[in-house]
């Protein structure tokens, strides 16, 4: 048995909870995933505040029997995350305590400044500073930062598909233990514009393979 965990962070309206739902529903279609737990911390989502979610899954190896007492908590422990997705860069830095050197980071570089930096009471760090801080905290060498929002605008004329692009990149990184086909099936069941959703997923998948995968 193996427990797989993820933390997803962003700003209200960027698709954090939708992305969590996609992963959960795709997991339901995966036979070896037998338990799915999660927690949502909405913060001030309705006012473009911080949103972060935790996701934990129990994965059985072949012929293993389910232990009903194995995996009972919906929240991550410090340093536990296998995957960290940042739909906004500072927001995933805020959650870096949940990561370690085993964590794969998929981070959108599109900045949404909080009121403190807009009012010049604080300075928003550069992407380079954020990346270095994440490296220092986690020790991970698997930190992938790219312009998912820019790709969504360029190819789909809509930034709302950013989360699907990020998801495609995460799948290409092999950091989600679920087949891509299951996500395509979930999108067919849950999205209003299936063609655009699948296009966004494939854009992220192909971008990662072309620019990061070795």
Question: What are the pLDDT digits (tens) for 34-70?
Answer: 899 999 876 555 556 889 999 999 999 877 888 777 8
What mean pLDDT comes out for the span 75-89?
Answer: 96
Classify the C-alpha dihedral 26-72-172-16 as positive or negative: positive
- Give per-residue pLDDT as tens, 157-190: 999 999 999 999 999 999 999 999 999 999 999 9
Domain ranges within the chain, ordered by starting residue:
2-211
pTM (two decimals): 0.94
Q: Identify whether the C-beta of residue 111 lies closer than 8 Å to the C-beta of residue 88.
A: yes
| Torsion 20-25-166-130 (CA) sign | positive
**What local confidence, expressed as pLDDT, does residue 1 receive?**
86
Backbone angles phi, psi at 100, to 5 degrees: -155, -170
pLDDT band for 117, please (50, 70, 90 cuts).
confident
What is the pLDDT at residue 47?
58
Calculate what percentage of the chain has a pLDDT beyond 90: 79
**Domain spanning 2-211, CATH architecture:** 3-Layer(aba) Sandwich (3.40)
Output the six-digit token pair for 43: 């913060």
Identify the pLDDT of residue 33.
93
Q: Where are the alpha helices (DSSP H) in 33-192?
A: 89-94, 115-118, 127-138, 148-156, 162-172, 180-190
Q: What is the pLDDT of residue 97?
A: 97
Tallying the residues shown for the chain, one arrives at 214
Mean pLDDT of the chain: 93
Q: Is the pLDDT of residue 214 over 60?
A: no
Q: Report yes or no: 66 and 60 within 8 Å, Cβ to Cβ.
A: yes
Strands 104-108 and 83-86: parallel
Helix (H) / strand (E) containing 41: strand 33-41
Span 17-39, average pLDDT: 94
Confidence of residue 12 (pLDDT cuts 50, 70, 90): confident
């Amino acid at each position: 048995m193996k427990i797989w965990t993820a933390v997803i962070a962003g700003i209200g309206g960027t698709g954090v909870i939708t992305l969590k739902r996609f992963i959960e529903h795709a997991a339901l279609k995966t036979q070896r995933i037998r338990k799915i737990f999660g927690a949502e911390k909405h913060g001030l989502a309705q006012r473009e505040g911080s949103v972060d979610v935790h996701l934990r899954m129990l994965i059985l190896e072949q012929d293993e029997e389910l232990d009903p007492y194995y995996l009972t908590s919906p929240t991550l422990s410090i340093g536990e995350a296998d995957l960290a997705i940042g739909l906004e860069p500072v927001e995933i830095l805020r959650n870096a305590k949940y990561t370690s050197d085993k964590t794969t980071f998929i981070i959108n570089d599109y900045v949404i400044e909080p009121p403190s930096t807009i009012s010049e009471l604080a300075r928003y760090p550069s992407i380079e500073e954020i990346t270095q801080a994440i490296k220092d905290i986690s020790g991970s060498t698997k930190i992938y930062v790219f312009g998912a929002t820019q790709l969504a605008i360029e190819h789909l004329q809509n930034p709302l598909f950013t989360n699907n692009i990020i998801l495609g990149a995460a799948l290409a990184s092999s950091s989600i233990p679920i087949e891509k086909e299951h996500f395509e099936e979930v999108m067919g069941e849950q999205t209003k514009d299936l063609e655009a959703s699948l296009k966004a997923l494939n854009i992220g998948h192909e971008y990662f393979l072309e620019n990061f995968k070795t």
